Structure 1
Amino acid sequence: MPNITIYFFTLLQANPLMLKQKISPFVLLFLLLLTGKNYGQSGFSAKEIQIRKIMMSNPEQAKTLVRNFLTTTEKRHDTTNANMYVYYGFAHNLLNAPDSAIYYYKKALGYVDKYPKSKAKAYLNLGISYRKLTKYDTALKYLKLSETLNKEISNKNGLGMVYGEIASVYNQQFQYEKSIDYLLEALNLFKQSNKPDLINPVKQRLAGTYVGTQNYAFAADLYADVLSYFKTVDLKNYYVTLVNYGECFYYIGNYTKAKAAINEALPGLDKFKDTESKGIALAWLGAIAFKEKDFVKGVAYYDKGLKMLYEKKSYASHAIFLRYITDLNENGKYDKATAAIADSEKKLKDTPVGIKLRADLEKQKSITYKSNDAKDKSIASLEKALVYKDSINFAGYEEKLNKQQAQYQNELQRKKNIALAKHNKFLALKVKSETQKKIIVIGLFVAALAIMLAGYIFYRFKRKLENEKMKSMTMSNALIAQQYENEQESNRQLKKSLLEKQSDLMSGAMRLAGVQENINEMLVAVKEKEDGIDADFLTKKLETLIKQEDYWEAFEKKFSEAHPHFRANLLQAYPGLNKTDLFFASLLKLKLPYKDIGRLMAISPESVVKRKYRLKKKMHIEDEDMFDKILLEMQA
Structure 2
Amino acid sequence: MKWPEPLLIIILLPLYFLSCDSKPYPQVLQLADSLANTCPDSAIVLLEQFKDSASQESKEAQMYYQLLTIKARDKAYITHTSDSLILEVLHYYEKRKDKKHLPEAYYYAGRIYRDLGDAPQALEYFFKAIDVSSACMNYRLTSRIYSQIGTLYLYQEVYDKAHDVFVKAYQYDILAKDSISITYSLRDIGRTFSTLNKVDSAIYYYEKADKLADKIKNINLKRIVNSELSEYYTKLGMYQKAYQSMQIAFEQINTINLAPRYCTAARYYYHTNQLDSATYYYTQLSLMNRYSYKAEGYQGLGYIARLKGEYKKALEYLDKDLAYTDSARNIIQTETVRKINSLYNYQLKEKENNRLKDMANNQKIWNIIFISFLISLILIFAVYWQYHKRKKQEELAQQRRIKRMQEEQYNQSLACIEENRRQIKKLEQSLQSAESIKSSLNQDLLNLQKKLIEKSNEQIIAKQEFREQGISILKKSPIYHNFLEAEQGIKIKKEDWQELTHSINEAYTDFTLRLLDLYPMKTIEMQVCLLIKIGVPPTQIAYITSHTKQAITSIRKRLYKKVFNMDGSPEDWDIFISSM
State which structure, 1 or 2, has the greater radius of gyration over its C-alpha atoms: 2
TM-score (structure 2 length as normaliser): 0.47
Scaled by the length of structure 1, the TM-score of the pair is: 0.43
